[in-house]
Chains A and B, each alone.
Chain A
Amino acid sequence: MMRHANYGLNAKRMTVFDWLNALFIICLMLTMIIPFLNVISLSLSSGVASMRPDIILFPKEFSLEGYRTIWNSLDLWRPFLNSTIVTVFGTLLHVLLSSLAGYVLIHPRVPGKRLMITFILITMMIPQEAVLIPLYVVNKDFHLINTLTVLVLSGLVSGFSILLMRNFFMSIPYEISESAKIDGAGDFWIFAAIYMRLATAGLATVTLFEFVGRWNMFTAPLIFINDSSKYTLQVALKAMIIDSSTSSSNYLITTNVKMAGIMIAILPLIVIYPFVQRFFMKGIMLGATKE
């Protein structure tokens, strides 16, 4: 059942404000959709037509050349599978571990809480540059270079998700857990059975962000994977589309192929989004508080 936070208003009267509001949102939507239309249209245009320096919103000289070139040159199944494994496992573990940590941080009197938060915050400030080489060495010592595991472990937990989950958990009244404690429930049970069930919007949000982030992940697979059979989809596509125009080469990839590559890469995300969106629209079922 769909519930909005609509303050219980039932009348469908649209005020002036409502119309202006809608207009504002429509304008915004239009700007957002331009890049997407552009990419789709270019991907469905013919080679030379796609090189024209215009922004097009409809395919020029409709052609499936771009997709066909990629389909013929690249065995997409392996990279797609690699990406899927890494993303699914990675996201599940990520959300789980981040939620666990987030839950711990909502208790007002846990000793060392300030320290834990600082500990987590610092990890979010770590500069990529300085740690790239040490990270490579760490993974090398664990024999993880060239495995999919290294991609799952990369960013297994992030301070962002921990703090976000903490925030969503905090919107659940603390009395619930206190009354459950009185009934004899342990912390882990309260976490799993109560908090995880109630913070659906939060879970969905973090899951979506992590899924997207992991699917689009590029630097880690680039640096830690040398074997092309372990390439993720993003890397495999980029490998094919690399434009060596910085030297006197004979090789050119036309724009429509590049755009087709981009479309193939983000298609799963676009498909998944509507499914996840349900959770942003639901209200919290707070029947439990009414006791």
Chain B
Amino acid sequence: MKRKSGILMATLLAGSLLVTACSSSGGSDTGKAAEGGADTGKQPEMKLRILSANVGGKTPDEMKQFEAEIKRLTGIDVTIEKPASDYDQKVLTVLGSGEKYDLIELSDLGKLDQFVGQGAVTDLSDFVKGSSTLSDPKVIPTAEWDQLKDKDGKIHAVFTKFQGGTMPIVRKDWLDKLHLQEPKTLDEYYQVLKAFKEQDPDGNGKNDTYGLSTSGLYDIQGFMSAAGLKYRYVMKDGKRTIPYASDEAIPMYEWFAKLVKEGIMDPNFVTNDTGKMRNLFLTDRVGMVTYWDAWVGMFNNLRKEQDPNTTFQAEAIASAAGPDGNILMRRGDPDFWIVPQNAPHVEAAEKFLEFWNSKDGITLGSLGIKDVDYTESGGQYTLTAEGKEHNMDHGVPFWYNENVKSPFDKLPGVEAAQELVKQHATLELALPGWPDAEKIVQNYALKAMSGEMPAADAVKKMREELKSANLIDE
């Protein structure tokens, strides 16, 4: 008896050792491969270890093809690691554990500030100035670089793509059907939304359409613009203020409360995530949402593919005009590459950054891999089935470089939306402490909007809490 169980134990232990042996011989600590490159001082190794959230192939296999394509186009041996989810957690853990990467993709300026503050990123100012590609205003407009500059004017990052902005998107076909014009002032917005609710624009005989839907406070900038209120922080004479917590915001929250009371606003706006909000718009349940410029085209495209005869037409419109005629719109935080302080292959990284912002890199980042996502003959580009599915987005759906023209037209409505962004959209300022401030602002704002609390009380409480937590100066 004793022997039998002993044998069983031994087999299990041996089995697990086998597993260890098999997998460790196959797997390698890729960190090791990346080390030692810059130390030799001779010919810099053309190797890169990249950590990215959006760039690259959509599946592990496609990623391998992506890496091979980069090698073909630049001669650099690249490994791109793209975590399946929880990007922030992964970045933090691997960096904090001493793993070395050459390039990391980020999409949050607040995070960039934190990284810079911790001394974790390389100063790229000289590199950018000296690079003929990157300092060419046709490749990247000079003014745009301001987004990535710190308070001393130093540049610590390079764009991965062109980030657009969000704005109100409306059902143009419904406007036409109900003989309405695109709204320009807050009152006109109200009229339009009310009509959507009451006049059954999708014609299904059911009272199931809402005028407006949001996902919490995402994104009410288009309406707050009517009172001249910009989201997040605004510096006034060196003092930190949050306009959404000022007295001017009270009538705005009351406006929303009215929408909610009259059933014009989707009551689920507090619990909606952006996916739900989008789906409501796509399925004729709501006439207006606020979303990305690129999505105007996506909405139209999705419906057309489902039903080529559909009348669905999504159109971007400008935010409600403020008392002085000013229009405030949100520009999304940019997507950018940083070079960590301990990157082993800085030269290769710099070469890659230039590549990424020129024709070959842009084609790869948008259309995809030659002969996998698209084919080219005599200057004519055709998308493969796979390429169509990926919708020309491998991390670079839109780019700055004016010298590179897209072989395909933008989806319907996108061009107009991007014009609006160019004209009106500005970045939002996120000072340290914003996450805590945002919680307070959103908490009370939503209560005021849903009518749970009078707007004046909500704003007062908001300011009290923000002040006592030292998150605003005024």
Contacts and interface: CB of A to CB of B under 8 A. Distances in A.
Interface residues of A, number: 57
Interface in B294-310: 294-295, 297-298, 302-303, 306
A52 interface: yes
Contact of B12 (A73, A92, A133, A188): A92
B97 A144 contact: no
Given A48-B306, A236-B60, A222 B83 contact: yes
Contacts of A137: 97-98
Contacts of A85: 19
B45 to A, nearest CB: 19
14 contacts: A73-B59, A75-B60, A89-B15, A136-B97, A144-B24, A148-B23, A149-B24, A189-B5, A192-B5, A219-B86, A230-B27, A247-B107, A248-B292, A249-B393
A250 B397 contact: yes
Contacts, number: 166
Contacts of A146: 27-30
A120 interface: no
Contacts of A96: 9, 12
B19 A149 contact: yes
A51 B299 CA distance: 12
A269 B390 CA distance: 32
Closest 3 pairs between A and B when the two form their complex, measured CB to CB: A228-B60, A250-B393, A239-B84
B16 A89 contact: yes
B43 interface: no
Nearest to A156: B16
Contacts of B391: 250-252
Interface stretch (B119-127, B137-145, B280-288, B347-355): B280-288
A248 B107 CA distance: 11
A281 interface: no
Query: Which among B82, B93, B96 has the greatest number of chain A C-beta atoms within 10 A?
Result: B93
B70 to A, nearest CB: 16
Interface of B: 1-2, 5, 9, 12, 15-16, 19-20, 23-24, 26-31, 53-54, 58-64, 81-86, 89-90, 92-94, 96-99, 107, 163-165, 274-276, 278-280, 282-283, 285, 292-295, 297-298, 302-303, 306, 332, 335, 389-393, 397-398
Interface of A: 47-48, 51-53, 69, 73-75, 85, 89, 92-93, 96, 132-133, 136-137, 140, 143-149, 152, 186, 188-189, 192-193, 219, 222-223, 226-231, 235-236, 238-240, 242-252
A189 B282 contact: no
Contacts of A188: 2, 5
A235 B60 CA distance: 11
Contact of A136 (B24, B63, B94): B94
A245 B302 contact: no
B90 A186 contact: no
B12 A93 contact: yes
Contacts of B83: 222, 239
A248 B16 contact: no
B97 A222 contact: no
B85 A147 contact: no
A51 B27 contact: no
A73 B282 contact: no
B388 to A, nearest CB: 11
A189 B1 contact: yes
A92 B410 CA distance: 55
B164 A136 contact: no
Given A52-B279, A136-B97, A250 B392 contact: yes
Contacts of B60: 74-75, 228-229, 231, 236, 239
Contact of A53 (B90, B279, B298): B279
